[in-house]
Structure 1
Amino acid sequence: MFEKKYEIFWSEQVRNAQGQRLEMLRRDLTGTKKLLEEVVLPVLGTFEGLELEFEMISLSGVKIYGDVCHPKLRIVFEEDSFVTHAEKITRDRFSFERARARSVAMLGYTYFPYSRDELEKKASFCQRNLYEWIGRFGNVKAAGLLELPVYEREALRFAMLCNKPFQVTEVSQWLQLKREACGKILRRLEGRGLVQTVGGGLTRSHKFMFTEKAVALLHGKN
């Protein structure tokens, strides 16, 4: 049953791909299939929303690819074979892989790698890891969160990852926007009841913190 579903899914991905991504999709994807069969599909229950060989632009400006990505959940899954990713890796390749992981993080995706050994010997443990992540950060049914303008949504995501009071200057760093623009974003979030001021006065020195309403929104309980 899995093989048939995978073939349909893979064919659709190939049909909509071009250039280097198309070449990536036509290589040996044995590890990716294992990742889908043992973890991703059992947890998510569907191929819908997933993309194979997800294309991104790294911090250095080159194209990088994630084995499997769920763009709506903002998570990139990887299958790492010990032989190709550790035992026989060169120093330059090792450095590239670290920079690649940083790029994925800076682009706002959670990087979720699994080793081939884990997939073959500890599939249930791998599944639990993903269930826990979805419970904390990635409920795809959180429609209210997805309806927020992108900068408001990303500011809220970073705030929850920070998990402590934060200032406008920090939001400016997170979003790579000027302080004035970030102040407007926070005022809109405050108006929605998703952040609140903590300490300080009305015009200076105060910090912000996400509210329980924001937590409920993230987990689809709005």
Structure 2
Amino acid sequence: MGSKRLFVFGAKNVGKAGMVVVKREVRQLAVEAKASIVAAFIEKQRKTAKGQRLEMLQRDLSGTIKLLTDLLLPVFGSLEGFHLEYEIVGTNGVKIYADVFYEPLGLVFECDGYVPHVELITRDRFSFERMRVRTFALGGYAYFPFSRDELDKKIEMCRRAVYEALGRRGRGGEGLRELPVHERELLRMAADSTMFTPKDVRNWLDIGHRKTRELIASMKQSQLITRVGGSDCRDFGYKLGVKGKELLRGGGS
């Protein structure tokens, strides 16, 4: 009897140990998958960059990689709509670059370590950083800076902040809620895409071809969406228009 109990006890422990190993392997696969997605995204950004932007993308991107891997990819589910070292021209004509820019909602994300950004910063650099923040504000962009320590030690807090930003800025302005339900939902779905097609609209909203055509035509006319490519007879695809971006950013009346 004692040996039987010993055998069962041993089997249970082996099972638990095996589950621990499996869970560890699953987590490792998830980490590797995120790393692969981020690496491919960065390579794609470099291929389309030139000049000073390309030079900046060739520098050490460890902070940006951590921002993408640990914070933005888990929250957004993909890196569609994001740009690295996004160029913005200030009112004084000076070009500045946002580390990570989410175009659909005008969100700027950055990650900085303590030593290079605080301990070693010069007075001129400090003034330049203040100018950058003003430029983001004047351009209507929401600026979300994170420290490397926060991403290392308080990642859940950081994710909650981004989720809250999406809830307030990207998903619920008064003007947005006043739209017909199909227009409102299409804008919300399109916010996570750099481009979408009529087929995407049908899948997102579960509507037919005729309703899709009518919806797209109406939203094009009101500048909620705009065409991408195509010809005089046929549009290739669509993206958020000026009015659509304003509503998603909470600027609609």
Q: Which amino acid aligns with 1:57?
A: V
1:65 counterpart = 2:112 = no
| Aligned position for 1:20 | 52
Give the structure-2-normalised TM-score. 0.58
Residue number in structure 1 paired with 2:26: none
Change (3 A) 1:122 1:41: same
Go from structure 1 to structure 2 and tell me whether the alpha carbon gap of 1:63 and 1:118 turns closer, same or farther (over 3 Å shift).
Answer: same
Residue 9 of structure 1 is matched in structure 2 by 41
Distance 1:107 1:150, change over 3 A: same
Distance 1:6 1:153 in 2: 26
Larger mean CA deviation between 137-146 and 90-99 belongs to 137-146
The structural deviation recorded for 1:150 is 2.6
Higher alpha-carbon Rg: 2
Give, in whole Å, the separation in 2 of the partners of 1:153 and 1:138: 9
Q: Which runs of 4+ in 1 moved over 2 A?
A: 142-154
- Equivalent position to 2:62, from 15, 30, 40: 30
- Aligned to 2:188, the other structure's residue is in SS state coil
Tell me the distance in 2 between the aligned counterparts of 1:101 and 1:125.
22
Secondary structure of 1:60's aligned partner: coil
Following the alignment from structure 2 to structure 1, what is the Cα–Cα distance between the partners of residues 248 and 167?
Answer: 14
Show the counterpart of 2:11.
Answer: none
Higher helix proportion:
2
Deviation at 1:59, TM superposition (A): 2.6
Match of 1:108 in 2: 140
SS in 2 for 1:141: helix
Structure 1 unmatched runs, 5+? 162-193, 195-209, 211-222
CA distance in 1, matches of 2:91, 2:53: 19
Listed as ranges, the matches of 1:56-205 within 5 Å are: 56-139=88-171, 141=188, 146-147=224-225, 150=242, 154=246, 160=250
Query: How far apart are the structure 2 equivalents of 1:146 and 1:37?
Result: 31
| One-letter identity of the residue aligned with 2:104 | K
Q: Secondary structure at the match of 2:80?
A: coil
Q: Note the aligned Cα RMSD (angstroms).
A: 2.3
Paired letter, 1:150: V
Q: CA deviation at 1:38?
A: 1.4
